[in-house]
Structure formats: structure tokens, C-alpha cells
């Protein structure tokens, strides 16, 4: 799954990359967690915009989001079949721009070590996402989104068996966002794990396990000495979500 990621891309880079008609000011964020605001790109009536939405998908048919499970990921293999996602796969696909993401590898001794995973050439990561524009009976509105995941390629599977669906190339971006012309079956074919040679990863501090932690030190590679020290410490326990039960541990 993908339960933590970083987004440090400058707004002007996103405007150029996606040909956006708007821009939003966003400070660099190094430890984005579920329920927080995230930036997503979607296309409506041929216009691409970037929006701030809540990370935690709420389908339009939900009566009370506070009583609905926290959905931060959708499996690509079943997203078109699940009642929560099938309408969004058809009509509400988006992209979640990122710099990299975190996963925790469980060692033979049962201890967990976080890794930071990025593109090998340091280019932006473009996660396939789904969004929903929920409207309540009293006029309240909440825009939400999630990240689509795929099975990890063999090398990446040594860290975790799932990974974000990362769109590979301009054509994939065009097709994923074009819900008017590109149907579900064609969109599903874009959901492939990137080849391992296009990615790189390194161990990072267990401090990333805290939802309160942020800053560039969280993505800095650990030295061998720090790895030894890190291995002897216990990772911080993720805070329980105040609402939206069903997510449990973020990792």
C-alpha cells in the first residue's frame, strides 16, 4: 500500500508539467499522511486544474463520511468492480504528484525499517488516483481522493508487495486524465508496476513513523552507523485515526 509520501515539487513545475490553468502555493511536505490535504490534478471539460482535497476517499453515495471507512488506496485489479470506486474509475480519475513515497520493510527479526522510494532520475512521481466530490444534505461539500496501487515488481517486493500505480510517460498521463474519451478497460491497462530500474530507494529514519514529523531530514539516506542505531530502536507508533475506522496501521 501507499500510506506516506513526500511532495516537494514547485508549483510552477506542476503548471508546466500538466498544462494547468491554475496554480496553488504549497510548501514542501516530506511526510504526508492520510486525512491531510493533498494536491491532485484532474481534467474537466478539457481543462486541467490542481486542487487541494482530503486524502481519504468518500464515494458520493455515502450519507455520513464520519461513519465511513478511511479509503486511502484502491487496488488496480479490483477498482472497476468495487461499488466504492467503479464510478470514479469511469468518470473521476486524477493524478497525485509526488517526489517519492515511503514503505516499511519487515526484516527476518520482525523489525521494520522505512525506505524512501523515488524515480531513478529524480523526476516527479505521478501516482494514478481517483477523486470524489461529496455533497451532503445540508449543503456541505468535501472533495476527497485516493492513490491506486499495483503489485510490486520483484525487486521492490522485497520492501513491500504493493506499490503506487505510477504513470509512465506523457501518453499515460493523457489517457488516465481523459475520462471523456478513454474508457475503463483502456485505463486499466495503464495500471502496471514500473520496471525496477526506473526506481531507486534508500533507508531513512524511523522518525517518519510519527504523523507529526516533517522536514527534509526524513528523506535523507541513513549511514551504516545510523542504520545500526536505527535497528536497535523501536519505530514510533502511528496515531489512531480520530474517525474513519477501518484503516488501522498505516503500514
pLDDT at residue 23 is higher than 90: yes
Q: How far apart are CA 20 and CA 39, in angstroms?
A: 13
Q: What is the mean pLDDT of residues 198-224?
A: 95
Q: What is the mean pLDDT of residues 39-65?
A: 94
The model's confidence at residue 251, banded by pLDDT at 50, 70 and 90, is very low
The model's confidence at residue 56, banded by pLDDT at 50, 70 and 90, is very high
Query: Which of 37-51, 59-73, 79-93 is predicted least confidently?
Result: 59-73
The model's confidence at residue 232, banded by pLDDT at 50, 70 and 90, is low
pLDDT tens across 135-184, in order? 877 778 899 999 999 999 888 898 999 999 999 999 999 999 999 999 99
Answer yes or no: are the C-beta atoms of 117 and 159 closer than 8 Å: yes
The ranges assigned to domains in the chain are 5-231
Number of neighbouring beta carbons within 10 Å of residue 246: 9
Q: Tell me the fold of 5-231.
A: hypothetical protein yedk fold (3.90.1680)
pLDDT at residue 202 is higher than 60: yes
**Which residue would you say has higher pLDDT here, 98 or 231?**
98
pLDDT at residue 103 is higher than 80: yes
Q: What is the mean pLDDT of residues 235-244?
A: 40
pLDDT at residue 86 is higher than 60: yes
pLDDT at residue 154 in the model = 81
Average pLDDT, the chain: 89
Amino acid at each position: 500500500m501507499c500510506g506516506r509520501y513526500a511532495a516537494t515539487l514547485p508549483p510552477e513545475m506542476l503548471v508546466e508539467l500538466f498544462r494547468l490553468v491554475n496554480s496553488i502555493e504549497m510548501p514542501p511536505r516530506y511526510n504526508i499522511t492520510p486525512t491531510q490535504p493533498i494536491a491532485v490534478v484532474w481534467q474537466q471539460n478539457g481543462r486541467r486544474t490542481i486542487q487541494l482535497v482530503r486524502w481519504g476517499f468518500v464515494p458520493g453515495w455515502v450519507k455520513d463520511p464520519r461513519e465511513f471507512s478511511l479509503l486511502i488506496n484502491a487496488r488496480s485489479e479490483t477498482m472497476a468492480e468495487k461499488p466504492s470506486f467503479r464510478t470514479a474509475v469511469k468518470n473521476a480519475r486524477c493524478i497525485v504528484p509526488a517526489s517519492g513515497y515511503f514503505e516499511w520493510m519487515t526484516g527476518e527479526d520482525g523489525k521494520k525499517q522505512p525506505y524512501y522510494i523515488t524515480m531513478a532520475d529524480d523526476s516527479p512521481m505521478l501516482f494514478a488516483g481517483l477523486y470524489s466530490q461529496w455533497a451532503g444534505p445540508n449543503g456541505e461539500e468535501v472533495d476527497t481522493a485516493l492513490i491506486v496501487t499495483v503489485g510490486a515488481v520483484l525487486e521492490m517486493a522485497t520492501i513491500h508487495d504493493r506499490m503506487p500505480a505510477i504513470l509512465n510517460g506523457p501518453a499515460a498521463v493523457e489517457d488516465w486524465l481523459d475520462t471523456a474519451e478513454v474508457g475503463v478497460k483502456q485505463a486499466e491497462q495503464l495500471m502496471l508496476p514500473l520496471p525496477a530500474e526506473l526506481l531507486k530507494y534508500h533507508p531513512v529514519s524511523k522518525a517518519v513513523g510519527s504523523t507529526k514529523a516533517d522536514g527534509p531530514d526524513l528523506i535523507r539516506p541513513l549511514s551504516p552507523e545510523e542504520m545500526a542505531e536505527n535497528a536497535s530502536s523501536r519505530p514510533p507508533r502511528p496515531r489512531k485515526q480520530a474517525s474513519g475506522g477501518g484503516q488501522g496501521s498505516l503500514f
